[in-house]
Amino acid sequence: MKSFTKELWLEVPVRRKIVSIHQEVENALKISGIKEGLCLVNAMHITASVFINDNESGLHNDYEKFLERLAPHEPVSHYQHNGYEDNADAHIKRQIMGREVVVAITEGKFHLGPWEHIFYYEFDGKRKKRVLIKIIGD
């Protein structure tokens, strides 16, 4: 069994944004040479998420509205965590959207549905953050 590790560094210039990382993850798979196995992609920060869904702007806008209704950024005084930073909502949004995805690899390609796409979701941007890509298999 082989193993391949790569870290992506992202610096999103706004507080919240969905960023496609699909091509970067596919490139990592090609470099790895692994034909059968699994790929883990996870946000290495507690105020960001990795998820798989449709690459459609209307859906992305719906995520923004939905998450802001569940965990609004303001007023920041509603959260006990806020003090040094005003990012309690970002922690909650990450918990809802999840930390990572695992994708099957078959014949050297991701075994995804027709509309599935890999994204990074930043909830507390304006600084550098990492995403781990870990690929194992043969």
Helix extents (H) in the chain: 22-32, 57-70, 88-97
Q: Tell me the mean pLDDT in the region 20-44.
A: 98
- Model pLDDT for residues 69-117, shown as the tens digit of each residue: 999 999 988 899 977 789 999 999 999 999 999 999 999 999 999 999 9
CA 19, CA 121: separation in Å to the nearest integer?
Answer: 6
Q: Note if the pTM is more than 0.85.
A: yes
Please report the pLDDT score of residue 82 as a whole number: 78
Contact 118, 25 (CB under 8 A): yes
How far the first Cα of the chain sits from its last, in Å, is 5
The 10s digit of each residue's pLDDT in 50-77 is 999 999 999 999 999 999 999 999 998 8
Give the per-residue pLDDT at 96: 97
Give the pLDDT band of residue 129 (cuts 50, 70, 90): very high
Q: Which fold has domain 2-137?
A: Jelly Rolls (2.60.120)
State residue 85's pLDDT score.
83
- Judged on CB neighbours under 10 Å (0-12, 13-18, 19+), 93 is buried
- How many residues are present in the chain? 138
How far from chain centre, in Å, is Cα 3? 21
Give domain limits for the chain: 2-137
d(CA 78, CA 105): 44
